[in-house]
Amino acid sequence: MDVSALSAPTEPSLSRDLQNQLCRLVARVAQTLMQHGAETKLIEETSIRLGTCLGLEQVDMAITANAIVITGRVSGRCVTTTRRVYDRGLNMQMVCEVQRLTILAEKHLLDAAQVEQRLNNLVPLKYPRWLIVVMVGLSCASFAAQFGGSLLVCLNTFVASSCAMAFRQSMGKRHHSPMVNFCLTAFVATMIAGVATTFHLGRHPEIAQAASVLLLIPGFPLINAVSDLVKGHINMGIARWFFASLLTLSAAVGVSFAMWLGHLWGLW
Amino acid sequence: MTLLMLFIKQAILAAIPAVGFAMLFHVPAKYLKFCAILGAFGYVCRSALLQLHMPIEWASLVAAMLIGLIAVYWSRKHLIPRPVMTVAAVIPMVPGSFAFKTILSLLALYNHGFDTQLLAEVLENGLKTLFILGALSFGLAVPSIIIYRNRPIV
């Protein structure tokens, strides 16, 4: 075996510094995508595409429920970096923007420095709080209408779910645990919807109650979980599925406590 | 004619939650209309299939698949990832009332002791919830599993 061929590797096309920088950039892109709720395949694909089009020979990554490990390779020289991921809340606008940066870089319209600069300038879109409250209230009211509720029941649902949404936002702002948040929000929604029926606002408390807790559907975790599972990221899929189940369970606990209290006080 | 009116009413009632939840997910304002259209289309499509006596799980699967396929076209055109539109669009079809009934009968089962009627309700509603949810989320993944197998959509 010719040992000299092994000990004298070819000169890497990329300097060590540049390789480090690119790996950091790729790690940051992956971290941003994960923090704002992208599915695992999208995170992996986008990061790998960005890394390879900016000059890394191969990018490999391991994704776990709350950390990412990335290795960028150039002529047999590897740089590995790990990033802890903290949940920043769902934000599809950030996911869109990061994907767009990758596509621009792939078409050679941006270089690494420009991608980094644009990434620094990204500001997560926030709709005004009152607007979300009103829209979510309307959404739950139309769920009530789909379930066959009368106009009064829909009105009741609107009030209950808007109050619950405002409560959920203020809990979220104080960084409470999502489980506690979901439990208390479900309690608030069920209580308000139930109490309103005792003032003869609609005759079916169940419809208003069922519709007003629907603002707590963990839609993104559930759908990301299934798409991770069917696309081969089993561990991420299980983690997300379990998280979604926990959220649903917390909401159920809140609902059942409100139900028990209502029966105890003879409200419904 | 009454069927048409029903579909129009359902389309409007499905578009509102789709937009509401899209705003909760912070979808950019210019893509909210896609969420509304897909949400309304999916819901009406499912209820048309239900009119033809298709079981609700299969109808949900077909509706979610159609949403996923249409979203492929728009995501390639506007260079945005598909979940931006599709997740909010299936929210109106989420089996919320079945899930709520499951919890209620589960609570009744616990409070009033064992009863075959209650147990049947828990199982029927629970299974229905689970199957519909599975069908919805699997249906959305169908285009990338079957058509775009190892390449990115956008």
Q: Where are the domains of chain B?
A: 2-147
* Cα-based angle B76, B78, B82 (whole degrees, multiple of 5): 60
B105 to chain A: closest CA residue: A256
Cβ pair B138:A230 closer than 8 A: yes
Q: Which pLDDT value is given to residue A202?
A: 58
For A3-121, CATH gives 3.30.1300
Q: Where are the domains of chain A?
A: 3-121, 129-264
pLDDT tier for residue B113 given thresholds of 50, 70 and 90: confident
Q: Which residues pair with A70 in a beta bridge?
A: A61, A81
Gap between the Cα atoms of B154 and B151, Å rounded: 9
Q: Which pLDDT value is given to residue A9?
A: 53
Residues of B in contact with A138 (CB under 8 A): 16, 20
Gap between the Cα atoms of A214 and A160, Å rounded: 11
Q: Which of B16, B21, B26 to mutate to test the interface with A (most CBs of A within 10 A)?
A: B26
Residues of B in contact with A224 (CB under 8 A): 83
Closest CA to A72 of A83, A63, A62, A61: A61
Q: Which pLDDT value is given to residue A80?
A: 95
Query: Would you report the helix, strand and coil content of chain B in percent, each value rounded to 5?
Result: 85, 0, 15
Q: What percent of chain B clears pLDDT 90, i.e. is strictly above it? A: 79
pLDDT digits (tens, 9 = 90+) for A186-240: 999 999 998 877 776 656 678 888 999 999 989 899 999 999 999 999 999 999 9
Q: Which residues pair with A71 in a beta bridge?
A: A60, A80
What's A174's DSSP letter? T
What's B145's DSSP letter? I
Q: Which pLDDT value is given to residue B56?
A: 95
Cβ pair A226:B138 closer than 8 A: yes
Q: Of the candidates B81, B137, B138, which has its C-beta nearest A99's C-beta?
A: B81
The stretches in chain A having pLDDT less than 70 are 1-11, 200-204
The mean pLDDT of chain B is 93
Cβ pair A95:B84 closer than 8 A: yes
* Cα-based angle A174, A177, A178 (whole degrees, multiple of 5): 105
Show which of residues 151-210 on chain A sit within 8 Å of chain B, judged by CB atoms: 206, 209-210
Distance, in angstroms, between A75 CA and closest chain B CA? 25
Cβ pair A45:B152 closer than 8 A: yes
Q: Which two tokens stand for residue A256?
A: 């059942």
